[in-house]
Amino acid sequence: MTTPARIRNNTNNEEGGYLIDNVTFKAGVISGVIPVGPAGSARLASAVIRTSWKDGTRLSNTGGMGTIFDTTGLDAAVQTNVGAAFTQQVGSSATFTPSISPNAIARWNSTLGVIETVPTGVATSRSWPNCATIAASTIRL
Amino acid sequence: MIAASWTLIPEFSVDTPGTLTATLNLGSWPSGSLLYILWADDNSSSPRDNTSGAITEGGYTIDNVLFSFSAIAG
C-alpha cells in the first residue's frame, strides 16, 4: 500500500496536520491503591475503590468452618497475614435475594455495589475449606 | 504491613449495620507509604440464610469509605 501524495497546505481536499490541545489527566485508582492527599479522600463508593480490595483468603488461614469461634481466634488468624501479599482481586457476584450468597472469598456485589464477605466451609470457586474470609484495601498517604 | 503487626480497630469490630467511624493514631507515617486496611470475617458454623429464628450469621458488606487525616504539629 502506498500513501497517496497530497499537498499539506490545508486548502483543497488535502491532508493537513493534526493538533492536540486541552488534555486533562485525572488521578484514579488504576494501580489498586487509594491515594489520600492532605485533604483526605472523598466518600468513596465501593464501585470506585473496588480494585483496591484484594482477597487474602488463601494466604495463610488454615482450618475450616467453626475453627475460629471467638474474636481472639480471629485476631490471631489476622496476625499471620502480610499486607503486600494481598494481590488476588476480589471475586464478583450479583446475588442479593433472599440474601447475598456464601463464598470462600471476598467479592464485589455488582447489584448492591458493595464489597461482601459471607465465608463458607466449602469453596465454590476454589477447592479448599477456609476458617475465615480475609480481604485488604490499600491506601497511600 | 508485616505479619503480627496488625492493629485491631474496635470501632469496626461490631455487628450492627450502619456508619462506622474510627480515629487512628498512626504515629509517624512517611508520605507516599502504603497503609493496609484488613477486613476479616470468620467462617462460622451458624446458618446463613438470614431467615430462620435460630442464631444466624449473614454476610457483611462494605461501602462508602472515607479516609482523612490531620497532622499533629510538633
Domain boundaries, chain A: 34-140
The pLDDT, as a whole number, for residue A110 is 93
Q: Does B61 touch chain A (CB under 8 A)?
A: yes
pLDDT reported for residue B74: 56
Residue of B37, B43, B60 lying closest to A139 (CB–CB):
B37
pLDDT on residue B22: 92
**CB nearest to A117's CB, from B30, B37, B60:** B60
User: Residue with C-alpha cell 483468603?
Assistant: A57
3-state helix, strand, coil in chain B (%, to 5): 5, 20, 80
Give the C-alpha separation, A105 to B11, whole Å.
23
Inter-chain CB proximity A136 and B36 less than 8 Å: yes
pTM of the model: 0.73
Question: What mean pLDDT value characterizes chain B?
Answer: 79
**Cα A14 from chain centroid (whole Å):** 48
Best of B67, B68, B70, B72 to disrupt the A interface by mutation (most A CBs within 10 Å)?
B67
Q: What's the first-to-final CA gap in chain B, in angstroms?
A: 26
The ranges of chain A with pLDDT < 70 are 1-16, 26-31, 58-63, 121-129
The C-alpha angle A136, A140, B4, rounded to 5 degrees, equals: 45
Average pLDDT over residues B16-44: 86
